[in-house]
Amino acid sequence: MKILMLGNSYTFFNDLPVKLAELTGAEVVGNLRGGACLWQQLDPNDDLCKKCSALLAQKDWDYIVLQEHSRGTFEFPKEFFDASRKLCMIAREMGATPVFYCTWAYQRGGKLITDMKLDHDEMFRKINAAYHKAAEDNNALIADVGARFYTDEDPDSLFHPDGSHPSDKGSALAASIIADVIFKNEESKQK
């Protein structure tokens, strides 16, 4: 199995692609850059797009995991939904299954969310709704990591001290949820 991950630091922090490879036994490759939005994977003026195009040209991916900038889902919804549609279409044309890696709101009470004057619950709802809409609109799978961060008994343990990125425990949880979604899809294909 081959998995391509398109995203940013929420994906590369704590070697999430390595963790996912260990859980799935798959070859996992990432096209990642800190702060990146999915639309940049498609922008011909962006170096991220050049590498994305080369990776997609291989056409032997089984899964393509899509992860948007945390605020991109609600600050730039048109760009998010357009890029999601295009990337899912590309994935399906090559026989790959798209999976949305639904991320989380910044840490409740943390400096980042406080400084930005964001409401944690509202940020969670906006991110979660956008990812679920993108998955539904594109008949894609969703790994709802954000919901697990939101409902975890010890959510602070899932965050890096910056209040945005995942801790090692948070990345391990993300890898586990993504792997479970992939395994369930593989099982359903066998039936």
Any idea what the CATH number is for the domain that residue 46 is in? Answer: 3.40.50.1110
**What pLDDT was estimated at residue 111?**
85
Question: What average pLDDT does this structure show over 121-141?
Answer: 97
Q: How confident is the model at residue 94 (pLDDT cuts 50, 70, 90)?
A: very high
| Domain housing 96 | 2-190
Q: Is it the case that residue 114 has pLDDT exceeding 90?
A: no
CA–CA distance, 101 with 65 (Å, rounded to integer): 6
Question: What average pLDDT does this structure show over 90-108?
Answer: 96
Question: What average pLDDT does this structure show over 94-118?
Answer: 92
Q: What's the structural domain count of the chain?
A: 1
Cα within 13 Å of Cα(150), Cβ side: 17
Other C-beta atoms closer than 10 Å to the C-beta of 191 total 4
Question: What average pLDDT does this structure show over 61-69?
Answer: 98
Q: Which amino acid is at 152?
A: D
Q: Are 145 and 104 in contact (CB under 8 A)?
A: yes
Residue-wise over 9-28: b if at least 16 C-beta within 10 A, else e?
Answer: bbbbbbebbebbbebbebeb
Question: What average pLDDT does this structure show over 86-107?
Answer: 97
H helix runs in 94-119, sequence order: 111-115
**What pLDDT was estimated at residue 160?**
96
Q: How confident is the model at residue 107 (pLDDT cuts 50, 70, 90)?
A: very high
**What pLDDT was estimated at residue 164?**
95
**What pLDDT was estimated at residue 105?**
96
Report the candidate in 55, 58, 59, 14 with the shortest Cα–Cα distance to residue 31.
Answer: 55
Which of 46-55, 84-93, 112-121, 163-172 has the weakest average pLDDT? 112-121
Q: How confident is the model at residue 118 (pLDDT cuts 50, 70, 90)?
A: confident
Report the candidate in 173, 145, 165, 184 with the shortest Cα–Cα distance to residue 63.
Answer: 184
**What pLDDT was estimated at residue 117?**
84
Q: Are 47 and 53 in contact (CB under 8 A)?
A: no
Per-chain mean pLDDT for the chain: 95
Report the candidate in 68, 60, 58 with the shortest Cα–Cα distance to residue 36.
Answer: 68
